Structure 1
Amino acid sequence: MDKLHAMRVFVRVVEANSFSKAADTLGLPRASVTTTIQNLEASLGVRLLQRTTRKLSLTLDGAAYLEGATRILSEIDEIESTFTSARKTPRGRLRVDMPGSIGRLVIIPSIHEFHAKYPDIDLMLGLGDRPIDLIQEGVDCVIRVGELSDSTLVARRIGAMQQVTCASPAYLAEHGEPRTLEDLERHVAVNYFGSRTGRNFELCFQRDGREEEIAMQGVVSVNDADAYVTCGLEGLGLLQPGRFMVLPHLRSGALREILRDWRPARIPISAVYPHNRHLSPKVRVFVDWVAELFERCPLLQGEDLPEDACVERAAPVEREGACECVV
């Protein structure tokens, strides 16, 4: 029996808390994963996992073995990556998750550049606003918008986003244009609710070091990026997306910026990955490439350039963090 392979399978089963999920992320048949764990337990002479129809749990021996196996595998990965990254082109499957708008507007239009540079990497791109558990779902890297709270992950800041408060001309013609934050009491917003919490995000404003968060009434709430902007274009209320996402609509006049004196704070954009994968050549080259891609565009560094476009379409993404604004 290949003990290192068995260790990797065991660790993945524990991380995924499922034989089936572990098999999917490892690219192995479920029966092979089950057999590997059974053979490992037989060779050690102890039971590592308690199995029921509903869940898996570690035995005391399993917890001790997990700690040692994780340490050994991390050290092996670190040693191997030191040599392979220097003499080999990164290769293999790389699973990355990101907000849909960043994927559609920034990453996918330039993905041919990454493929030309790293043809042996098979990219799996997940697009959406759903929170991702990197370990359990076998994701190598995610791009997140907002302040990060999970200290078990490694994060590299790759950019920043400046929001813009705006509305359609039709909405403003019917309801008037708000000039102060107090005027917002007479207005409605297109609300965006979080996939995780189900609650609407507040509009966020900042001026002279003062920050205000305002919960808005609305006739519709959505949790889809494109739907959010579409509702704003249809005159259903105020909205607060990232400027680079709606820049074409601002330039065409389909949306108008309001409350220019109360602009939201810039929001960080980060590439995030698990500690045990921080030396992976695949992850390293992808994060380096994404950081370079963002550096090309001032709007993706949080600069407020209303007339200079980096992208040609528009849609919002969901922000993670304590002040979960729509961005």
Structure 2
Amino acid sequence: MDSLSAFNAFVRAAEARSYTEAGRLLNVSPSAVTKAVSRLEERLGVRLFHRNTRGLTLTQEGALFLDSCYRIFSEIDAVHAELAHSKITPMGRLKVSLPMVGELIMPAISDFVSAYPDIELDLNFTDHLVNIVDDGYDVVIRTGKGADSGLISRPLGAFHLRIVGSPAYLERAGMPIVPRDLMVHACLHHRYATSGRIRRWPLEVTTTERGLVLPVAVTSTAIEPLITLAERGNGLACLPDFAIRQQIADGRLIVVLDEYMTFASVLCAVWPSNRFIAPKVRAFVDFLTENLFPRVDG
């Protein structure tokens, strides 16, 4: 018998005051119970029972050990109950890695926090490619399709990059008609924090426009300042459309050169491939799938 089985044999024998009755209750032979208790006594270095013709009585050490066994089995029952509850109820710590652009999906994540108060959300923003398993992440949000071997990926929604400016800026600086017109505009650029490289604007250009190096008015490692600067008329910015949908809809930002833009990508959730998906992971991925990118009816 293993340790827990031996503990259980001891408890049954103590309660029944008989090896024979304990064996009947456990569906094993009396000799199996006797051997389990004897091995326990050897390992503990104490006698647990007084044996006589009337049956078994606990020694002082046996009575103390019985109380300890009750506490151990009570803790095990509590753990089983907690795990059974967690299988159906999203709860516990959820460690999530997001790209720096992930700050733009915080409204959806805020709604998730409100909807699932029993989940402790641990958010880590980085443009480094993290190792999901080794770094202990439950879910990673990535741009681009596909997942490494041993990982599961689900698309949360597609997005595009769009060049936008405020009505006041475009009235002052003029509306660009072709990509080379950007050479006379104030361009607001996103710069990768990890590499320091400025993100290229994905424009489809003619042969004569290849190698076009756009002017730099501002660079930022975060997207939010670029949105603010564009809204306030400081120049044109190339931004993910999910971050500026409302500004475009209400006219605070106007899209330009859209027919020349070639970039389309997908935001995905990636998590380790296990036989069972934790409810907290399923709840998070399902919630973002439903709420991250608003559906437009009609």
| TM-score of the two chains, using structure 1 as the length reference | 0.54
CA distance in 1, matches of 2:160, 2:211: 16
C-alpha spacing 1:105/1:264, structure 2 compared with 1 (3 Å)? farther
Q: Hey, what does 2:188 align to over in structure 1?
A: 190
Unaligned runs of 5+ in 2: 1-79
Conservation of the 8 A alpha-carbon contact between 1:142 and 1:273: yes
The alignment status of 1:131 with 2:133, answered yes or no, reads: no
Q: Hey, what does 2:115 align to over in structure 1?
A: 113
Q: Map of 1:97-176 to 2, 5 A cutoff? A: 97-98=97-98, 99-115=101-117, 119=118, 121-126=119-124, 128-131=125-128, 133=130, 134-147=132-145, 153-176=151-174
C-alpha spacing 1:280/1:88, structure 2 compared with 1 (3 Å)? closer
Q: Hey, what does 1:70 align to over in structure 2?
A: none
Q: Percent identity?
A: 27
Q: Map of 1:239-318 to 2, 5 A cutoff? A: 239-275=237-273, 279-294=277-292, 297-298=294-295
Deviations 1:117-169 (A, max 9, x none): xx3x322234x354352345422112222356755643211211133211123
Conservation of the 8 A alpha-carbon contact between 2:112 and 2:284: no
Deviations 1:73-128 (A, max 9, x none): xxxxxxx9xx959964243211123344343232213432244xxx3x322234x3
C-alpha spacing 1:272/1:138, structure 2 compared with 1 (3 Å)? same
CA distance in 2, matches of 1:280, 1:87: 7
Conservation of the 8 A alpha-carbon contact between 2:163 and 2:256: yes
CA distance in 2, matches of 1:85, 1:216: 57
1:95 is aligned with what amino acid?
K
CA distance in 2, matches of 1:170, 1:187: 13
Residue 229 of structure 1, CA deviation: 1.0
Conservation of the 8 A alpha-carbon contact between 2:113 and 2:121: no
SS in structure 2 at match of 1:196: coil
Q: Hey, what does 1:203 align to over in structure 2?
A: 201
Residue 213 of structure 1, CA deviation: 9.3
Unaligned runs of 5+ in 1: 1-79, 300-304, 309-327
2:226 is aligned with what amino acid?
Y
In the alignment of these two chains, the number of paired residues is 210
Runs of 4+ more than 6 Å apart: none
Q: Map of 1:226-241 to 2, 5 A cutoff? A: 226-241=224-239
Conservation of the 8 A alpha-carbon contact between 2:108 and 2:288: no
What RMSD, in angstroms, separates the aligned Cα atoms of the two structures? 3.4
